[in-house]
Amino acid sequence: MGISDGIVQGFAVALDPVNLLYVFAGVLIGTVIGVLPGLGPTATIALLLPLTYTIEPATAVILLAGIYYGSMYGGTITSVLLRLPGEAASVVTTFDGYQMARQGRAGPALGIAAIGSFVGGILSVLGLMLLAPPLADLAVSFGPPEYVALTALGILLVTYLGSGSPLKSLSMAALGLLLATVGQDPITGTTRFTFGSVALFDGLDFVAVAMGLFGVGEILHSLERTDKVQAVTRRIRHIWPTRQDLRDSSGAIARGSVLGFVIGVLPGGGGVISSLASYALEKRRAKDPSRFGRGAIEGVAGPETANNASSTSAFIPLLTLGIPANVVLALIFGALLIQGVTPGPQLISEEPEIFWGVIASMVVGNVMLLVLNIPLVGVFVQLLRVRAGVLAAFALLVTMAGVFSVNNDSFDMWVVLVFGVIGWLMKKTGFEPGPLVLAFVLGSIMERAFRQSMLLSGGSLDVFVTRPLSGGLLAVMAAVVVLSLVMARRRRAAFRHVEPEGEADLGTAPTPGRDTRRTSDSVDTDVPSAPGER
Amino acid sequence: MSASPPAPAPARHPRSARSELRRLAPLLLLALGVGAVLVGRDMGLGELTAPGPGLWPTIVAGLLIATSVVLLFLDPAEDYEPWTAGTARIVAGLAGLALFIVLFQTIGFVVSAFLLLFAWLRFLGGESWRMALVLAVAGAIVLHLVFVVVLGVPFPAGPVDQLLGG
């Protein structure tokens, strides 16, 4: 099937009334939780996983994808108006967006962010359409050794590019791989680590683990902070940017689209890194870099474009190789597995309605977001009146009811509670749950591929090096490890470069959001890491 | 679940002892890794030519051991968050959630959901009595309607649940 046939089929799926409703629900929920500081896209998608059981696979992914890129739009609003990033990728927007708002230019800042996100999203969808089919064709020739190398590369990149210390992330990834082995051996059927418990024969339930670590863990973690959020009462005018604004930011939007697309495709990429990279690029290219941090519109347009572009292109590795590039995609991967669909190179040919339907829904969703955001910003801002305690109570209750509905078994509620406590303690001790869940998802793929490779090669580990593709991937891994040692020093310098003059007081600002605080931490300390996906 | 979480440290703890306490996390991971290796060896490692069920768990447990040993000595301390008075609120919230699950199993959804919401909103959220009452009643009924009536989830039946239908 050619690309044009695929696009036609995709729009037929995306424009189906039911799917239209779910795209709309997805982008609306995404925008709302992007605005609400206590709840990020990861937590929301984890909480909504049980809901996706009952709907068609394509519709489920359309909904979850909508939440993901919708949150990228929503996070901008609070960053600009309150210097309170609703989700991690919007931290950079606070630098110049908040300054623009203080100068009475909140409208254009939000407008250009919405337009930039739209352009970045659409360009990225086009790139996805062109790049994914040939990549999937290439991936069909992948054997088990390639999959071992690919999953290992994915896990390694996520640990290096995610937030927090790479070593701790690697440790969590190892724990995730170990947890994935609980249950029956995929080849011999021997039970492993079940300790005689029948409930564990099928392994730990992915939904319960994800809902516990991300949903409950994050809500508990946010309960400890009692940040007060003041409501924005003044009206926001002139949302549509002037011609001068558009001219100033068109370059930034174009560069942000390309940069975001490329970073999103890489495992471990996604929102935060792409927006940071775009900000650094714009500042470096500017004739007068001192304007940055004082309300430069390019400093809003570039990063906002890049984070939306990357959230779209991050679907490429999932839909073509079956490897989730970041934690949000790992959750979507899990949602598909539950539906009995294994994402991979065959997805395009075997389940074209999922592949093309999801892509086409992204076009529809981005149009909806543009239409929603420009006139309704004032309405979304009012959401900040919802108090964190109310949000937490309802989110937890929905989680508990939702996880019960998966298997109609109250045992799962206890699993969620236990993993919620673990997730909260991990956050307290600086261990990121992201690599754990990603490794948990990839663990069984990796083990099966490893054992098949061993059978294939007659027990020789050379097979990973001598095959050109897996050898190449392993060379990339080696390069990543070596580079990361060099980069650890340079990354710190790069953050200094990104840091605008006014950023030093971010950590002590009266209403610092969690992510603001985390960023200024990683600027101030020696930890060689970027703030990452939550 | 073989991983038990590290016990929460008491909020007021001497500074020096607390800095040692944070080593609990890598120690726990180390213990977990060693345990997994021992169990994995019993399952049978097999050969590389014919991998047994225990081989892969042993490999990843080895990675866990290696990283946790390095973490014992080289752990950047900056990313540990201090224990605050808020920690007590979380423990209270957790106890509430556990109580909710127990109640849910015995007296159904509506009453336990109301109690959870009301207690949480009033005592953890700091809402007024009236606000907490209104939100809790409305929330319990709406969620019952969504889950039981619309989605058809078979919650354990309770006294009030049957009045509301489903």
The ipTM is 0.81
Quote the pLDDT of residue B99: 94
* Predicted pLDDT at A374: 77
In the 3-class helix/strand/coil scheme, how is A469-484 assigned residue by residue?
HHHHHHHHHHHHHHHH
Does A405 sit within 8 Å of B151, measured CB to CB?
yes
**E runs forming strands in A291-379:** none
Query: Number of folded domains in chain A?
Result: 1
Which stretches of chain A score pLDDT less than 70?
1, 37-38, 86-87, 161-164, 225-237, 267-271, 484-534
* Interchain pair B53, A408: CB under 8 A: no
What integer pLDDT is reported at residue A147 of this predicted model?
86
How many Cα atoms sit within 13 Å of A154 on the Cβ side?
33
Contact present, B74 and A170 (Cβ < 8 Å): no
Which of A363, A367, A343, A364 lies closest to A355, judged by CA?
A343
Contact B49 A405 (CB under 8 A): no
Spatial neighbors of A17 by CB under 8 A, at least 6 apart, are none
* Residue A169 φ then ψ, to 5°: -65, -40
CB B124 within 8 A of CB B89: yes
Residue A2, number of CB atoms within 10 A of its CB: 8
* Mean pLDDT value across residues B156-164: 71
**Any idea which residue has 């014992």 for tokens?**
B72
Report the C-alpha gap between B121 and A394 in whole angstroms.
9
pLDDT in tens, B81-128: 777 767 888 888 899 999 999 999 888 889 999 999 999 988 888 888
Residue A431 phi, psi dihedral angles, 5° rounding: -95, 130
The answer to whether residue A530 sits within a structural domain is no
| Shortest alpha-carbon distance between residue A454 and chain B (Å) | 6
The answer as to whether A534 is a domain residue is no
Residues 6+ apart with CB under 8 A from A246: A112, A115
Listed in sequence order, the residues at least 6 apart from B128 whose beta carbon sits closer than 8 Å to its beta carbon are: none
Domain that holds residue A119: 3-524
Domain ranges of chain B: 15-79, 86-164
Is residue A183 left, alpha or beta, with left meaning phi > 0 and alpha meaning psi from -120 to 50?
Answer: left
Token pair recorded at residue B29 = 């991971």
What one-character DSSP code corresponds to residue B51?
Answer: B
Q: Is residue A392 part of a domain?
A: yes
Nearest CA in chain A to B125: A389
Is there a domain that residue A443 lies in?
A: yes
What chain A residue is nearest to B53 in terms of C-alpha separation? A185
| Phi and psi, residue A191, nearest 5° | -80, 140
A529 found inside a domain: no
Q: Which of B5, B79, B97 sits opposite A425 (nearest CB)?
A: B5
Eight-class DSSP state of A326: S
- pLDDT score, position A37: 67
The pLDDT score that the predictor gives to residue A506 is 38
pLDDT at A24: 94
Instruction: State residue B45 phi and psi, 5-degree precision.
Output: -80, -30
**From its phi and psi, is residue A430 left (phi > 0), alpha (psi between -120 and 50) or beta?**
left
| Chosen from B55, B56, B104, B141 to mutate, greatest number of chain A CBs within 10 A | B56
Sequence-ordered list of residues with C-beta below 8 angstroms from that of B136, at least 6 positions apart, any chain = B114, B115, B117, B118, B121
DSSP string, A362-373: HHHHHHHHHHHH
